[in-house]
């Protein structure tokens, strides 16, 4: 077997480009790491960066992050075009809300238990949005979530989706005009996390190919704790069919044990 060629540099500085506008940090230049291709290397790298520092909380311009492997977004059934408004309530306790509801889960009664019980109505605080293909044999179909910030704080939020990577179709300040005309569906940027601009909207598309209950939440931990989240229940009727034999019984046994357990610390946030 031939040895792999040694990179021109066997070690690189990795610098986290923290933006003070997003969150003040007194040690910006010290947020560094080292990527090494040689496990015996101990010297400091000498690499330098040509990246222009960001001046905002968004990711790189979408035009600069075109995927190498082209994949287009097509066939979006109208029921799977979902608009959710982000706001907040600031009473005795601060809560983020998605369409006026702040997510709060009950650990003793998880979403998947409702699914296995064939229930079609979920508790309001679970913030469940049902989506799915028009039929099990339908050609590839997509769902699109548009999150619109209608609050007055004007704060950017990194949004993360479980169960899927997603395609960034739009990421703009201001109000969404209610149409998909300006969405980029031709090989758009693909992400695990993308920023919802403060006072703006984020449109994220994903392929309906993974039945399950999937969270969408802000990746700032305390925002998620304050309820900034929703759940997609995707192709509910197919979920049980995808569970290997015996795993549903194991799931129910774990839930039963949890119900009999006296927690050391009671749940005091959204539960995610």
The per-residue pLDDT string of the chain (272 residues; one tens digit each, 9 = 90 and over) reads: 444 555 556 888 887 765 666 666 677 777 788 999 888 888 998 888 776 666 667 777 778 888 999 999 998 989 999 999 999 999 888 999 999 999 999 988 899 999 988 898 999 999 999 999 988 777 889 999 999 999 999 889 999 999 999 999 999 999 999 999 999 999 999 999 999 999 999 999 999 999 999 999 999 999 999 999 999 999 998 887 777 777 888 888 888 888 888 877 888 899 98
Regarding whether 224 and 191 lie in a shared domain, the answer is yes
Strands laid side by side in the 200-207 sheet: 94-98, 81-90, 142-149, 200-207, 166-173, 190-191
Return left, alpha or beta for 22; rule: phi > 0 is left, psi -120 to 50 is alpha, else beta: alpha
Domain of 146 in residue numbering reads as: 78-257
Give the side-chain half-sphere CA count within 13 A for 170: 20
What CATH number did the domain enclosing 136 receive?
2.60.40.420
Tokens of residue 103, six digits: 């997510």
**Tokens describing residue 48:** 């330098």
Q: What is the pTM of this model?
A: 0.82
Rounded to 5°, the CA angle 118-119-125 comes to 140
Beta-bridged to residue 229, according to DSSP, are 217
Q: Verify that 106 and 237 share a domain, yes or no.
A: yes
State whether residue 225 is helix, strand or coil.
helix
**What is the per-residue pLDDT for 148?**
98
Give how many domains the chain has, as a whole number: 2
Looking at the structure, tell me whether residues 222 and 110 fall in a common domain: yes
Q: State residue 92's pLDDT score.
A: 86
Residues 246 and 195 grouped into a single domain: yes
Residue 267 lies in a domain: no
Residue 42 lies in a domain: yes
Using CA atoms, how far residue 143 sits from 13, 153, 210, 234, in Å, is 38, 28, 12, 10
Q: What is the pLDDT of residue 1?
A: 44
3-state secondary structure 154-171: CCCEEEEECCCCEEEEEE
Residue 159 and residue 82 share a domain: yes
Whether residues 250 and 172 share a domain: the answer is yes
Could you tell me if 123 and 229 lie in one domain? yes
Are 52 and 97 part of one and the same domain? no
- Predicted confidence at residue 121, as pLDDT, reads 93
Would 66 be classed as within a structural domain? Answer: no
Same domain, 45 and 104: no
Same domain, 155 and 46: no
- Rounded Cα distance between 102 and 78, Å, is 25
Q: Give the sign of the dihedral formed by CA 35, CA 37, CA 39, CA 41.
A: negative
The pLDDT value given to residue 7: 56
Residue 265 counted as domain residue: no
Cα separation, 190 vs 99, whole angstroms = 26
Domain-located, residue 72 = no
Q: What is the pLDDT of residue 135?
A: 83
Give exposure, 223-240, as e/b (b: 16+ Cβ within 10 Å).
bbbbbbbbbbbbbbeebe
In a domain, 67, yes or no: no
C-alpha 214/C-alpha 89 separation (Å) is 25
Q: Measured between alpha carbons, how far is 99 from 87 in angstroms, rounded to an integer?
A: 8
Q: Same domain for 193 and 161?
A: yes
Asked whether the beta carbons of 172 and 197 are under 8 A apart, the reply is yes
Same domain, 128 and 217: yes
CA pair distance 142, 167, nearest whole angstrom? 10
Q: Which residue has the tokens 């939440």?
A: 217
| Domain presence at residue 46 | yes
In-domain check, residue 71: no
């Amino acid at each position: 077997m031939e040895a792999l060629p040694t990179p021109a540099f066997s070690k690189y500085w990795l610098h986290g480009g923290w933006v003070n506008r997003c969150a003040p940090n007194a040690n910006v230049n010290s947020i560094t790491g080292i990527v090494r291709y040689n496990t015996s290397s101990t010297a400091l790298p000498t690499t330098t960066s040509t990246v222009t520092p960001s001046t905002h909380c968004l990711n790189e311009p979408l035009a600069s992050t075109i995927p190498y492997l082209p994949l287009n977004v097509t066939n979006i059934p109208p029921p799977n075009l979902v608009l959710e408004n982000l706001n907040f309530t600031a009473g005795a306790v601060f809560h983020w809300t998605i369409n006026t509801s702040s997510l709060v889960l009950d650990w003793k009664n998880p979403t998947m238990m409702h699914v296995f019980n064939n229930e079609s109505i979920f508790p309001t605080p679970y913030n469940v949005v049902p989506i799915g293909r028009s039929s099990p044999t339908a050609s590839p179909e997509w769902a699109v979530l548009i999150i619109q910030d209608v609050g007055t704080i004007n704060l950017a939020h990194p949004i993360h989706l479980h169960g899927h990577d997603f395609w960034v179709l739009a990421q703009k300040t201001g109000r969404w005009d209610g149409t998909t005309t300006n969405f980029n569906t031709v090989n758009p940027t693909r992400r695990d996390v993308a920023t919802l601009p403060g006072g703006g909207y984020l449109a994220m598309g994903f392929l309906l190919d993974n039945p399950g209950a999937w969270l969408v939440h802000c990746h700032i931990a305390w925002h998620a704790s304050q309820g900034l989240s929703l759940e997609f229940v995707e192709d509910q009727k197919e979920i049980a069919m995808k569970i290997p034999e015996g795993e549903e019984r194991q799931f129910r046994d774990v839930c039963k044990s949890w119900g009999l357990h006296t927690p050391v610390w009671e749940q005091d946030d959204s539960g995610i």
